[in-house]
Amino acid sequence: MKTVLDLGCGKKKHPNSVGMDFNKDTDADVVHDLNKYPYPFPKNSFDVIYCSHILEHLDNLVKTMEEMHRIARPNARIIIRVPHASQCGVWANPTHRRVFATKTFDYFEKGSQEKYSDKYFVVVKKRLHYLYDEQSHSEWEVALGRFLDRLANLNLYFCERVWCYWVGGFSEVYFELKVVK
C-alpha cells in the first residue's frame, strides 16, 4: 500500500493519507509549522505527497521542495494545486506569498538554466484549470470552464502569455512531479 502525505491538509484531508497542518483545528494527524524544517518524518517516507493550495502560503518554496524531496521515496509523485498568476483575486488573500505559472517547477528539473537546488524533480504533467471548485458553480459555468480548460491546455505558453487575460484568468495550475533520487 502506498504511503501518502497531505501537506497542509486543512479540513479536507485526502483519503487514506497522513495529514499535516500547522492548525490543530484541522484534520491533521501531525500538527507542525510547515515553514519549520525538517518536517517530522524520516527520509524516504512517502510514495505520494499532496499539496493543494498550500505552497502559496509558505515562506520559502525552494526549502519546501527540498524537504518534500527528503521525505519522499525515489520516484514518488508530488501532486500540486496552486493559484495561477492570472487569477483575478490571487493577491486578495493577505497570506499569499507567491503565485505560480506553468513553468514554475521547470526550475527544479535537472538541466534547468537556473539552478536553485541540488534536489531534482521531473515535471510529469501540468494543466491549467479555469475553475478551482466546480461544485460551487452552475452547470453552464462548469461546462464553460471545462471547454476553456481544453483550449488553454492545447498551448500553455500562448494561454499564459495572451489568452488567459481575455477570459478573466485561470483559477489554478495543477502539477504532477516525480522525485529524482
pLDDT at 144: 83
pLDDT digits (tens, 9 = 90+) for 123-156: 999 999 887 766 667 888 888 888 888 988 999 8
pTM strictly above 0.95: no
Domains of the chain (ranges plus CATH)? 4-180 (3.40.50.150)
CB within 8 A of 107, min separation 6: which ones? Answer: 114, 116
Distance between CA atoms of 52 and 49, rounded to whole angstroms?
10
pLDDT at 135: 65
Q: Are 108 and 63 in contact (CB under 8 A)?
A: no
Per-residue pLDDT of the chain (181 residues; tens, 9 = 90+): 789 999 999 999 999 999 999 999 999 999 999 999 999 999 999 999 999 999 999 999 999 999 999 999 999 999 999 999 988 788 889 999 999 999 999 999 998 888 899 999 999 999 998 877 666 678 888 888 888 889 889 998 888 888 877 877 888 999 999 999 9
Q: How many C-beta atoms lie closer than 10 Å to residue 1's C-beta?
A: 5
* Environment class of 142 (CB within 10 Å of its CB; exposed 0-12, middle 13-18, buried 19+): middle
CA angle 104, 109, 113 (to 5 degrees): 80
